[in-house]
């Protein structure tokens, strides 16, 4: 057995020891793509609710003392935005994936999971005790073969926009495969909600009528600028989660202040118009202008990876960009596979044209 000190030293020698650091410079590691984390309208909504007597603490789990009308109203608002029957709010995206997947998937169920799914999905599937089959990334033929061998009622779990590579799952094709094989599709919309669709509801909202997923998950710490997460599904599924999702049942309810904040954020996103698409437009420009000098993978979204390979090189480039005024943290294993260490640029709506030009210039300079 290795001591704690020895384990930390191993991480340090491999360049993999992490430390907590306050962001310094223009932060393009942040997922606050629409700049709502510091939005004054959202702050005013919270202040107004507190002045009317909204408590700061929830006092207990939702099934005990922590439930109130503000949660019901918020969940109804979010479900209506997503055009689903119901939604349920969790304290975080991680907790939502744990509660959703471990709560719904039963031991022995077959689950097809994309090989690049987020760690919260991986951990949730382990807890579910389902029979998990890892499918090569976005490989529709592999999904087809796996579904042909699986019993009816199999599950498919994917991210809508993959968090490290910034590419998109073929949602419509997967939805059609699921329907034709009587499978159940679950989509994590973490990096899609707020940016895609006519009202910013996410990529699920763009699916044809009749092809909605069995359930979708919408974390609020990205484009919504806050925290927590919603699971959207039909009424019966949400009712089952209230009874089966352990990360919901056995957690103190989030602070009630999130309810007015999220209400304001959802309403504001629907009114942003072209500002919602600015991160996507800037990302497309960035890929075009630096793609010949850097490996940007298969990015299709606001997330543009610069895949540098080694841990050492990635840290060096991160340090050079920090000296030029950019906060771009090095992503290393186990967050990404060995040999694919990278910088992960998240384009933001509040990045000015002048700042964008400087970003391009500085990236080409360190290349």
Catalytic machinery residues: 31, 118, 159, 163, 188, 191, 222
Q: Are 127 and 107 in contact (CB under 8 A)?
A: no
Give the helix/strand (H/E) hosting 330: strand 330-331
Tokens of 234: 């039909």
| Residues in the chain, total | 367
Q: Are 360 and 330 in contact (CB under 8 A)?
A: no
CA dist 258 and 256 (Å) reads 5
Instruction: Give the HSE-up count for residue 166: Cα atoms under 13 Å, Cβ half-sphere.
Output: 26
Q: Give 240's contacts (C-beta < 8 A, 6+ positions apart).
A: 103, 104
Q: What spatial distance separates the first Cα and last Cα of the chain, rounded to whole Å?
A: 43
Nearest to 342 by CA among 311, 299, 366: 311
């Amino acid at each position: 057995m290795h001591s704690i000190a020895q384990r930390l030293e191993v991480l340090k020698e491999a360049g993999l020891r992490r430390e907590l650091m306050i962001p310094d410079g223009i932060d393009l590691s942040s997922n606050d793509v629409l700049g709502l984390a510091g939005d004054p309208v959202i702050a005013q909504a919270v202040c107004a609710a507190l002045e009317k007597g909204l408590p700061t603490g929830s006092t207990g789990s939702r099934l005990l003392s922590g439930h109130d009308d503000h949660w019901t109203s918020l969940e109804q608002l979010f479900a209506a935005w997503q055009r689903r029957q119901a939604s349920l709010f969790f304290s975080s995206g991680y907790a939502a994936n744990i509660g959703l997947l471990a709560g719904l998937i039963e031991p022995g169920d077959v689950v097809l999971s994309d090989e690049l799914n987020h760690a919260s999905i991986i951990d949730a599937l382990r807890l579910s005790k389902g029979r998990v089959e890892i499918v090569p990334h976005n490989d529709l033929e592999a999904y087809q073969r796996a579904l042909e061998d699986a019993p009816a009622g199999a599950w498919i779990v994917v991210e809508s926009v993959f968090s490290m590579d910034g590419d998109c799952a073929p949602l419509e094709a997967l939805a059609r495969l699921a329907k034709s094989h009587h499978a159940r599709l679950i989509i994590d919309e973490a990096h899609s909600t707020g940016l895609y669709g006519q009202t910013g509801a996410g990529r699920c909202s763009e699916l044809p009528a009749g092809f909605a997923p069995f359930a979708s998950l919408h974390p609020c710490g990205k484009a919504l600028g806050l925290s927590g997460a919603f699971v959207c599904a039909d009424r019966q599924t949400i009712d089952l989660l209230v009874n089966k999702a352990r990360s919901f049942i056995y957690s103190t309810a989030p602070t009630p202040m999130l309810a007015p904040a999220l209400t304001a954020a959802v309403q504001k996103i629907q009114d942003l118009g072209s500002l919602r698409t600015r991160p996507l437009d800037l990302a497309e420009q960035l890929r075009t202008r630096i793609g010949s000098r850097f490996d940007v993978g298969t990015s299709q979204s606001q997330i543009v990876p610069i895949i540098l390979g080694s841990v050492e090189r990635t840290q060096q480039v991160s340090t050079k960009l920090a000296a030029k005024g950019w906060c771009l943290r090095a992503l290393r294993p186990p967050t990404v596979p060995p040999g694919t260490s990278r910088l992960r640029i998240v384009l933001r709506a509040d990045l000015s044209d002048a700042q964008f030009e400087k970003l391009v210039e500085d990236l080409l300079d360190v290349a």
